[in-house]
Chain A
Amino acid sequence: MSALIEVLKPGMLTTIQDLGRSGFQKFGVSVSGAMDFFSHRVANRLVGNDERAATLECTLMGPALRFLSDATVAITGAALSPRLEGVEAPMWQSFEVKGGNVLSFGECHRGCRAYVAVRGGIDVPVVLASRSTHTRTHLGGLDGRSLQKGDIVSSFERGAYRSSSRFISLFSEKILASRTLRFILGPNDDHFGTASIEDFQRETYRVSTHSDRMGIRFEGKALTHCGSAEIVSDAVPFGTIQVPANGQPIVLAADRQTTGGYPKIGVVITADFPVLGQLRPGDKIRFHSISIEESLDILNSIEAAISTGYSEEDPAAEIDSL
């Protein structure tokens, strides 16, 4: 372990995340983890890490980070105008940073969350099998909180790595451009009338400013319950579209509680979690119901892109068949 990064400015919300804290939900422990698993995993691969290594998740306004020693870095996800020593830094490809260099971020052009991976991975203690930060319960990351000015972030030491790996799959583009959340209907669709289920897929919904890592809240045509607006509490997976009494859907995300008591009209498909994680307040989207089979086909192509969508590993591969 070695001190690698000094936080000069924390940005709006920068947290250490990995793929989440599974296995302890039965004790009420939230999963947390990267909001956009796709960008997180690609960033790790670009610097030669295991996909489960911890990265920095930077929200809307990125941080300013001084590197204390040389490092291999990759930035993926939202376009937050990264700059290395004031010069535009590349995204979706690995590059070398020298000790003393400052990586900063500017205007957010697209998306909501960028991921910064460093070769070796961020080194913070593993708490309940994960390094992910859950700020609400102060678990994981750096003292269970988001980064603050003056923090020193360490990384695991790994040998040098090729610095030219580049992600070329069009999925990176598609995720930031998508304005559709595809979902599997149910299991509590019987709590809503047919008209409401149609409205839900016809109307446009706007991302509310009250959205955060727990859930993305939407504003639009209110959905009507035809029975009770409460169910006996049960588990709520990532992507659960729950509808409280006011009829405005909330899509639960990484920092959600483990259980919930509102009817679930549907659950966003796994392959669209990255789309959800990149939405920002004001974005307008539509919900579209698909079958499990379709959802798994899409997931398969995303997984293929994550493992093979790089210019170095297989330059001849055609990865544009989305």
Chain B
Amino acid sequence: MKIYGVGDSSLCVEFGPGIDPRVNQRAIDLAGQLERLNLPEILDIVPAYSSVTVYFNPLRINRMNLSSRLRETMNLRLEGAAGSARSHKVPVVYGGGFGPDLETVAEMNGISSDEVVRIHTGTRFRVYMLGFMPGFPYCGIVPEKIRAPRLSSPRTRISAGSVGIAGAQTGIYPMESPGGWRLIGRTPLTLFDPKENQDSMFRFAAGDSLEFYSISEEDFYGWTNRLEL
């Protein structure tokens, strides 16, 4: 573990290199503990794959003091830090217009489209972090047999709910956007609803687990599109 500055108003606590569920959990736990402390000098707390970045007001707290505070917090190991993670089942229509890159992903890996779907639905993924846009879950780790690199030229428009693969990551676009991930399917679920209250606005949180299952096009259009938590 190391703590270092990022500019004059943030500190980053890094728990290790690479993408690892245990390292990621430590980052999520620290972020949760810091939130509970609710320090007025801290402006935002951003957990990522293997780190937590703390944004602070440098005129209100000295960075050395904050750094010690972060170390103390880590040593506290507050009760109930873990255990808030949830499991989600995510319905997806795979292939066709819903997942225009499914066949390419299959071809790149020398397997059939059905096999890609079987592996994608048969893997329990972890939400390592949210980023890119509100509610976008970065999930891993994608089994090697269905990995595919990002498109060399990103699409200018991707439909909300599109499920993509980028290397060892899989994710879901919560809203229409440009993007470079290979799209293998689409979910009818709403991932981010700004009209909801803050507690139920986002479907996923870092640390959650997520399993995909295959549905038909008919199911997709008949889906009651609401945030089911």
Contact = CB atoms under 8 A, between A and B. Distances in A.
B7 A25 contact: no
A25 B12 CA distance: 15
Interface string A223-235: 0000000001111
B132 A29 contact: no
Interface string B48-92: 111101010011000100000000000000000000000000000
Contacts of B53: 234-235, 237
27 contacts: A22-B43, A22-B55, A23-B43, A26-B130, A26-B206, A28-B131, A28-B132, A28-B134, A28-B136, A128-B194, A128-B198, A137-B133, A187-B4, A232-B17, A232-B48, A234-B14, A234-B48, A237-B55, A240-B6, A257-B132, A258-B131, A259-B48, A264-B6, A292-B5, A292-B63, A299-B58, A300-B59
A205 B43 CA distance: 32
A27 B130 contact: yes
B12 A233 contact: no
Q: Which one of B43, B45, B129 has the highest number of Cβ atoms from chain A below 10 Å of its Cβ?
A: B129
Contact of A270 (B7, B12, B44, B133): B7
Contacts of A137: 133-134, 175
A130 B43 CA distance: 13
Interface in B178-229: 192, 194, 198, 201-202, 205-206
Given A26-B130, A233-B49, A258-B132, 7 more contacts: A23-B44, A28-B132, A28-B133, A137-B175, A233-B131, A257-B133, A299-B59
Contacts of A270: 7-9, 58
A186 interface: yes
Interface string B7-51: 111101010011100000000000100000000000111111111
Nearest to B206: A26
B76 to A, nearest CB: 20
B190 to A, nearest CB: 14
Interface residues of B, number: 45
B161 interface: no
Given A233-B138, A235-B48, A300-B59, A295 B133 contact: no
A27 B135 contact: yes
A257 B49 CA distance: 15
A235 B10 contact: yes
Nearest to B4: A187
Contacts of B177: 136
A230 to B, nearest CB: 10
Interface residues on A, range: 35 or more
A303 interface: yes
A269 interface: yes
A138 B6 CA distance: 29
A40 to B, nearest CB: 17
Nearest to B128: A233
B22 to A, nearest CB: 15
Contacts of B131: 28, 233, 257-259
Nearest to A271: B8
Contacts of B14: 234
A27 B6 contact: no
A139 interface: yes
Contacts of B7: 183-184, 237, 239-240, 266-270
Contacts of B44: 22-23, 25-26, 31
